[in-house]
């Protein structure tokens, strides 16, 4: 399967610990997005990359959150000093901008974070 892959699928951590999520996008896609989804809500945009450049960050992304996409391939989202309010599903999506752009974002199955 060559879809968007996210790991780990579920992470349980104690408040104050750091966590890191990884996203492997569809290989030829140049855009990568991170979203957060809480129960009963739609996905909320956090940040996106074009190739290795992080071009936009939402105000939802506090200083405790950092995302990287070295070499323009996989991406990591790190949350430092986790708080209970960080408990959510973290979604990664990728897309192709330019020739072949259909407007569609392709989503992974998400990484669920539970902060105790």
Where along the sequence are the contacts to another protein (CB under 8 A)?
4, 31, 33, 40-45, 48, 55-56, 91, 93, 95, 97, 103-105, 107-110
Q: Which one, 41 or 51, has the nearer CB to another protein?
A: 41
Residues sharing a CB contact under 8 Å with residue 115, sequence separation 6 or more, in sequence order: 13, 14, 15, 82, 83, 84, 85, 86, 87
For residues 107 and 91, give the distance between their C-alpha atoms in angstroms, rounded to a whole number: 7
Q: Which one, 45 or 74, has the nearer CB to another protein?
A: 45
Q: Which one, 3 or 85, has the nearer CB to another protein?
A: 3
């Amino acid at each position: 399967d060559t879809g968007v892959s996210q790991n780990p699928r579920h992470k349980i951590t104690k408040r104050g610990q750091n966590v890191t999520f990884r996203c492997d996008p569809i290989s030829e896609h140049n855009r990568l997005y991170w979203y957060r989804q809480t129960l009963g809500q739609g996905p909320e945009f956090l940040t996106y990359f074009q190739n290795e450049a992080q071009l936009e960050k939402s105000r939802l992304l506090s200083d405790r959150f950092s995302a990287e996409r070295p070499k323009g391939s996989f991406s990591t989202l790190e949350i430092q000093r986790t708080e209970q309010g960080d408990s959510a599903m973290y979604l990664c999506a990728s897309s192709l901008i330019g020739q072949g752009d259909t407007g569609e974002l392709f989503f992974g199955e998400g990484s669920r974070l539970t902060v105790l």
